[in-house]
Amino acid sequence: MTLDLTTLNFDKSGGMVTVVAQDARSGRVLMVAHADAEALQRSIDTGEMHYRSRSRGLWHKGATSGNTQQLVELVADCDADAVLARVIPAGPACHTGAITCFGNGAADTLGELDATIDARAAEQNGAGYTAKLLADRNTRLKKLGEEASELVTACADGDAARATEEAADLIYHTLVALHAAGGSLDGVRDVLRARRR
């Protein structure tokens, strides 16, 4: 999360950089705003996003609405004139009440699935299939094995449509099992990134 603010190329006329807020769990772009050094430092110090606009001045995202953005990471772009803010939103990002300011555009489907599993795990006495799997180790592991076997069979049969369905089932059950074991999709991404080098 540490970003050296002295390395940023703030706009000469207003002393600001563009900030793209992205949901750290789903990968969905939430909003675009601006920040100066003070707003970014306040974000780092408090762990919640602050922005600066010419009309509103310094503002704490969600201070009135409760739709705050918990800061996960700040990353400068290659020219150091824009910042990606990876956040965990506490509600909609858009003033219209929409989740993002960009409508229902494409997002990271696996990230959204992971966030849904995370939300189900946080529910007290949750009902539904995901909650059942999270609560029952034997059922969870049995389903993981079943889905893996079904994928192997579909691939052996050369049935692309069935293999695709079974792969989706296996990915879902894998994420549930990973979550129950204390792992995360971000952890899997980190391992894959490291292996790519």
Residue that finishes a domain, picked among 89, 123, 141: 89
Q: How many CA atoms lie within 13 A of 185 on its CB side?
A: 21
Report pLDDT digits (tens) over 109-146.
Answer: 887 788 888 888 888 677 889 999 999 999 999 999 99
CB 50, CB 35: distance < 8 Å: yes
H/E segment holding residue 19: strand 17-23
| Residue written as token pair 């180790």 | 137
Instruction: Quote the pLDDT of residue 97.
Output: 84
- Residue 47's pLDDT is what? 95
Give the CA count within 13 Å in the CB-facing half-sphere of 93.
Answer: 26
- Same domain, yes or no: 50 and 22: yes
Count structural domains, the chain: 2
pLDDT of residue 144: 95
In this structure, is residue 40 part of a structural domain? yes
Assigned domain for 53 exists: yes
Supply the pLDDT for residue 21: 96
Q: Do 113 and 145 belong together in one domain?
A: yes
Q: Is 130 a domain residue?
A: yes
158: which 2 tokens? 């050369």
pLDDT of residue 38: 94
Sheet holding 17-23, edge to edge: 29-35, 17-23, 82-89, 69-76
- Which CATH number do you get for residue 82? 3.10.20.810
- Full domain range(s) for residue 71: 5-89
Residue 150: CB partners within 8 Å, gap ≥ 6? 166, 169, 170
Q: What is the pLDDT of residue 110?
A: 84
The set of residues, in sequence order, having a beta carbon less than 8 Å from that of 104 and lying 6+ positions away, is: none
Instruction: Determine the pLDDT at residue 44.
Output: 95
The phi, psi pair for 47, rounded to 5°, reads: 80, 10
* One-letter amino acid for residue 110 of the chain: L
Average pLDDT, the chain: 89
The reply to whether 24 falls in a domain is yes
Q: Which of 89, 118, 147 is the last residue of a domain?
A: 89
Q: Token pair 């409508």 is at which residue? A: 103
Per-10-residue mean pLDDT for the chain, 197 residues long?
Answer: 80 87 87 95 96 92 93 93 93 86 72 84 82 94 96 96 96 95 87 83
pLDDT number for residue 106: 53
Q: What is the pLDDT of residue 104?
A: 63
Q: Is residue 55 part of a domain?
A: yes
Last residue of a domain, one of 55, 89, 123: 89
- Give the pLDDT of residue 135: 92
